Amino acid sequence: MHESMWASVAQNLVWLLDLFVAVAGVVFTATYLKRSRWARLLFAGFLVRAIVDLATKLALRMLVTSASSDFPRVPLFFLATSILSVMTYAALVLGVAGLLSELSRHRVSPGQSSSAE
């Protein structure tokens, strides 16, 4: 019993950390929405990631507590959340690639001063 309690606590902590990273990504990218078109893609990716995390956690909690769950729809729900997860990771990768590409086009040579200074 003691070991299963620690495993449950560890699972909840990992889930909270995952959600925290997604929410931090939403907040951070929201501040850059007007500066880059790629920030919008990153914002959407982090937002959907946070929503999927919350929906999955709530669905799992309902499945555990409810004996009369609508079991035929459960696999469809998890298929949909898995597809959304893959799409969010793709959006995040494309957003980062776009930002890095944008940065490389506006590169400042070591001898030049940037406008941010």
pLDDT tens-digit map of 70-108: 667 777 888 888 899 999 999 999 999 998 888 888 765
Given pLDDT bands bounded at 50, 70 and 90, which one contains residue 29?
very high
Q: Which two tokens stand for residue 107?
A: 């590169």
- In terms of pLDDT, which residue wins out, 111 or 27? 27
Domain annotation covers residue 45: yes
**57 lies in which domain range?**
14-104
Total domains, the chain: 1
Domain annotation covers residue 36: yes
pTM of the model: 0.75
- In the predicted structure, residue 53 carries a pLDDT above the cut 50: yes
Domain annotation covers residue 113: no
Domain annotation covers residue 117: no
Domain annotation covers residue 28: yes
Residue (of 78, 72, 89, 84) closest to 56 by Cα position = 78
